[in-house]
């Protein structure tokens, strides 16, 4: 069998025996792979820090065709995730890893998803100082990941009838429908929240891949509302809450039921 070389983000590691590890990696060329790294934690191994969580490495992987674990033979560290003074940024990195795992199928390459995740992790690494940009950064990643995997919410028309939305102070957002709803389609539906015009405008900007999250200003009230919408949307999509919270527990504004 040929050994393939690719760039990969380490999104999970599980001990296997005394010195080995089962590693889940997200590869730019091959998508999500689960591989056995034999002797990964020996003092003199071919991995040398390349399997640290959230690190990006150049890996050599022996692909198996029988459904068994692939074999990881080498991981040369390219960049390591560094913990700065922001615990929120660390949670953000862990949330990126969880979403890569939850939203992707095994061996389904999505190079754009790798690039977006890698760029987000690099921005979060070593974060210190003002945390206010982190909300837009994380929501931007989540919306990009949903778009790339085919789950992007509808934000500029009715998700049900595809008609125009009325200009109003608040708009219905159907979690089970995957986006905004017009007044006619909103009637009688469950899992609907009411989104303010300012929060909806922010979501539209953050969902636009041509707009950098750093260019989107999210005041605290809007950030709390947008965060609540995304947390609820992801929970409905995955059928469970994400294990990693988006932020440290604090008082905030939640999405309001319509």
Q: Please name each of the domains of the chain with its CATH number.
A: 3-79 (2.40.50.140), 152-257 (no CATH)
Inter-residue contact 196 to 180 (CB < 8 Å): no
What pLDDT sits at residue 45? 79
What pLDDT sits at residue 255? 45
Distance of alpha carbon 235 from alpha carbon 31, whole angstroms: 23
Q: Identify the bridge partners of residue 36 per DSSP, sorted by sequence position.
A: 22, 71
pTM over 0.85, yes/no: yes
Note down pLDDT in tens along the chain; length 258 residues: 678 999 999 999 999 999 999 999 999 999 999 999 999 888 777 787 899 999 999 999 999 877 789 999 999 999 999 999 999 999 999 999 999 999 999 999 999 999 999 999 999 999 999 999 999 999 999 999 999 999 999 999 999 999 999 999 999 999 999 999 999 999 999 999 999 999 999 999 999 999 999 999 999 999 999 999 999 999 999 999 999 998 866 544 444 455
What pLDDT sits at residue 182? 97
For CA atoms 141, 231, 125, 38, give the dihedral sign: negative
Exposure b/e, 218-246, CB count within 10 A at least 16 = b: beeebbbbbbbbbbbbbeebeeeebeeeb
């Amino acid at each position: 069998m040929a050994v393939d070389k690719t760039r990969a983000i380490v999104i999970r590691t599980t001990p296997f025996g005394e010195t080995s590890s089962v590693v889940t990696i997200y590869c730019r060329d091959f998508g999500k792979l689960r591989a056995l790294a034999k002797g990964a934690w020996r003092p003199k191994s071919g991995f040398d820090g390349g399997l640290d969580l959230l690190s990006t490495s150049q890996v050599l992987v022996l692909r198996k065709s029988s459904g068994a674990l692939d074999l990881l033979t080498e991981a040369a560290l390219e960049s390591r995730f560094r913990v700065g003074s922001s615990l929120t940024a660390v949670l953000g990195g862990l949330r990126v890893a969880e979403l890569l795992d939850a939203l992707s199928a095994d061996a389904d390459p999505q190079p754009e998803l790798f690039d977006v995740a890698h760029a987000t992790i690099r921005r979060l690494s070593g974060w210190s100082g003002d945390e206010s940009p982190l909300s837009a950064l994380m929501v931007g990643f989540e919306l990009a990941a949903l778009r790339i995997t085919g789950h992007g919410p509808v934000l500029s028309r009715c998700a049900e009838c595809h008609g125009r939305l009325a200009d109003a102070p608040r708009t219905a957002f159907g979690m089970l429908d995957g986006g905004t709803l017009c007044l006619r389609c909103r009637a009688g539906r469950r899992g609907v929240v009411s989104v303010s015009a300012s929060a909806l405008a922010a979501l539209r900007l953050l969902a636009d891949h041509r707009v950098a999250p750093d260019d989107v200003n999210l005041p605290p009230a809007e950030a709390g509302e947008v965060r609540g919408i995304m947390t609820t949307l992801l929970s409905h999509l995955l059928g469970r809450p994400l294990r990693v919270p988006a932020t440290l527990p604090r008082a905030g504004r939640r999405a309001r039921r319509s």
